């Protein structure tokens, strides 16, 4: 295959992926608005484009399958057929099979590996007039089927919530239709395809530049205090200008790696629609903030945890219609998925109006599964009880199903979030619903840290995990069962000494600096000698030899050329738990 043919095939795969993603969203929206002719025409055009491009490239199996789906859509838009739940099921099956065939083509297997006769037969049956699906209900989809709507903040988008188009990935080219529109306007191509590895390399170089900037800034500051003079003043101005330009360059490069979180959110309307059918519930998914942008590396990691959380909201949270009506709620349950910025972080909320989580029930289940003792359960706070849901092997499902009850999931969700230096918390009210909040950094490459000193060593603590810092006299540090604790306001905090964790000899002092660290509901105090200030650092891997060192997650190079280790807050909390704190 020539280079030109490879590029044509790559463009076809990128465009097909985008069209299939859009079809998933639009088909679910069509089920809620079966009379929306504009939406139906848009779906038809997408299917027609897939059929045309696959036919041009000789993928006959994909062309045949898409052709039959297109015939059904054509009858729907002409009014010869009325949308039913059964017709929607078959159309979704067809486009799911097209996704599988697309993956086969991407893997070099061609498009003839899959048997399409079953789906083609069902589509042909619908075209022939059998819309009941061999006895299946043909009730209109808008009557007793789930809904999945998307809301946006902009007025124009609010008029057409179904038209959610995610920006292409860095390695992708914008769809050909958009290119043609731009060319008609005389603007030419507005996007280019860039290999992700090139962006990663550029990001790494910018990271090195940030380190160089920090070094120059520190040297300039030292020279101002020791030498002074006209030339040093000019150097200081140049250093400040370099710092400003480096910051702007860093932000520009980070934005090239940013993708709208809608890239992940777009898969959920279809998922909720399928879950609603399977669980026999009526569920509306409301999405806001899908234009909020995240680093590509974070986008890739956040998908699976969100899938599990939304499945849990649908399965455990939202009740069946009969139960909701009996408790005075509308039959239609709502799951709200929202994303928004908060400083240098993004917050993702999954909120449902279901039955909520009973903390006492969680305690009973945990005792029953021997995860905790009855004595432990008796002295647990409500927050601690709610966080039992994150324990490994914990499940509240009465029976194992395809949706839940396998005893895995929420512990993996929390682990994956913590790997992203993120936090996850639960707020719930029995009878009113639950809210799960995830807070993660916008990027994993460059972070804000608090620099602390122990003897002659200095360490970096990710600022996202720092709740506050306090300076306390030695007399306020108490010892309970040979473990140091601090009473801070109305809370007793267990204390860890950074010097003992890393085996550093330091002098006893009359006062301590304590960094209060938090992860989810857990709080501990970290005893250090000095607070050295905040700084923006570039995270460097420790390499295979030092990988997995307890208490350390990476390293960075400081302005004076020294290597600072970055403290792993999750690991410290595990140490505290293991030691009985």
Q: Annotated active-site positions, please?
A: 48, 70, 312
Query: Which residue in 386, 342, 344 sits closest to 363, CA to CA?
Result: 386
Other CB atoms within 10 Å distance of the CB of residue 30: 24
The span from the CA of 401 to the CA of 421, in Å, is: 32
3-state secondary structure of 267: coil
Asked if residue 293 lies in contact with residue 260, where contact means CB atoms within 8 angstroms, the answer is yes
75, 127 Cβ separation under 8 angstroms: yes
Alpha-carbon distance of 48 to 167, in angstroms, equals 22
Report the SS3 class of residue 489: coil
CA–CA separation, 443 vs 445, rounded Å? Answer: 6
Q: What is the DSSP string of 58-107?
A: T-HHHHHHHHHHHHHHHHHHHTSS---HHHHHHHHHHHHHHHHHHHHHHT
Q: What would the two tokens of residue 141 be?
A: 């989809």
257: number of Cβ within 10 Å: 22
| Residue recorded with tokens 């916008």 | 442
**What distance, in Å, lies between the first and last C-alpha atoms of the chain?**
63
Cβ atoms of residues 315 and 279 within 8 Å? yes
Name the residue among 190, 199, 188, 192 with its Cα closest to residue 173: 192
DSSP H stretches of helix in 114-175? 117-127, 141-144, 155-159
- Could you give the CA distance from residue 72 to residue 91 in angstroms, rounded to a whole number? 8
Count of CA atoms in the C-beta half-sphere (13 A) of 19: 28
Classified as helix, coil or strand, 494 is: strand
Helix-helix angle 296-312:410-419, to 10 degrees: 160
Q: Among 420, 452, 433, which residue's Cα sits nearest to residue 539?
A: 420
The residue among 10, 198, 170 whose CA lies nearest residue 106 is: 10
């Amino acid at each position: 295959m020539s280079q030109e043919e490879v590029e044509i095939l790559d463009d076809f795969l990128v465009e097909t992926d985008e069209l299939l993603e859009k079809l998933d969203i639009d088909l679910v929206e069509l089920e809620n608005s079966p009379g929306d002719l504009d939406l139906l025409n848009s779906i038809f055009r997408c299917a027609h484009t897939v059929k045309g491009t696959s036919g041009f490239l000789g993928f006959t199996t994909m062309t045949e399958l898409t052709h039959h789906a297109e015939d059904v859509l054509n009858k729907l838009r002409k009014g010869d057929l009325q949308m039913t739940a059964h017709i929607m099921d078959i159309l979704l099956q067809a486009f799911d099979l097209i996704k599988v065939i697309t993956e086969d083509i991407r893997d070099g297997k061609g498009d003839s590996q899959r048997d399409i006769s079953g789906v083609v037969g069902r589509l042909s049956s619908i075209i022939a007039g059998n819309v009941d699906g061999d006895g299946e209900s043909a009730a209109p989809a808008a009557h007793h089927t789930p809904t999945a709507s998307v809301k946006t903040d902009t007025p124009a988008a609010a008029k057409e919530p179904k038209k959610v188009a995610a920006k292409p990935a860095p390695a992708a080219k914008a769809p050909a239709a958009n290119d043609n529109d731009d060319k008609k306007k005389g603007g030419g191509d507005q996007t280019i395809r860039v290999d992700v590895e090139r962006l990663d390399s550029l990001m790494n170089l910018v990271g090195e530049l940030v380190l160089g900037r920090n070094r120059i800034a520190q040297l300039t500051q030292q020279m101002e205090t020791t030498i002074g003079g006209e030339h040093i003043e000019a150097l200081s101005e140049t250093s400040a200008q370099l710092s400003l330009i480096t910051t702007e360059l860093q932000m520009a490069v980070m934005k090239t790696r940013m993708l709208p979180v809608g890239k992940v959110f777009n898969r959920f309307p279809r998922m909720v629609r399928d879950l609603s059918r399977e669980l026999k519930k009526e569920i509306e998914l409301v999405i806001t903030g899908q234009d909020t942008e995240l680093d590509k590396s974070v986008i890739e990691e956040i998908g699976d945890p969100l899938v599990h959380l939304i499945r849990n909201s649908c399965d455990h949270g939202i009740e069946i219609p009969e139960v909701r009506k009996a408790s005075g709620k509308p039959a239609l349950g709502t799951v709200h998925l929202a994303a928004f910025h908060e400083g240098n972080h993004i917050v993702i909320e999954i909120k449902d109006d279901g039955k909520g989580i009973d903390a006492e029930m969680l305690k009973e289940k945990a005792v029953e599964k021997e995860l905790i003792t009855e004595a432990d359960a008796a002295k647990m706070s409500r927050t601690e009880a709610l966080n039992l849901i994150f324990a490994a092997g914990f499940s509240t499902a009465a029976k194992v199903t395809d949706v839940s009850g396998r005893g895995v999931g929420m512990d993996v969700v929390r682990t994956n979030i913590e790997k992203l230096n993120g936090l996850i918390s639960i707020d719930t009210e029995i009878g009113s619903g639950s809210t799960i909040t995830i807070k993660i950094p916008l990027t994993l490459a460059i972070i804000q840290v608090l620099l602390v000193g122990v003897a002659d060593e200095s360490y970096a603590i990710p600022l996202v995990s720092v709740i506050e810092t306090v300076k306390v006299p030695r007399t306020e540090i108490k010892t309970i069962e040979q473990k140091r604790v601090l009473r801070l306001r109305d809370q007793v905090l267990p204390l860890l000494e950074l010097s003992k964790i890393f085996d550093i000899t330091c002098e006893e002092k009359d006062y301590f600096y304590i960094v209060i660290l938090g992860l989810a509901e857990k709080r501990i105090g970290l005893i250090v000698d000095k607070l050295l200030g905040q700084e923006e650092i570039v995270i460097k891997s420790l390499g295979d030899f030092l990988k997995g060192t307890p208490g350390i997650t990476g390293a960075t190079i400081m302005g004076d050329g020294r290597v600072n280790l970055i403290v792993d807050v999750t690991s410290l909390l595990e140490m505290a738990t293991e030691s009985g704190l």
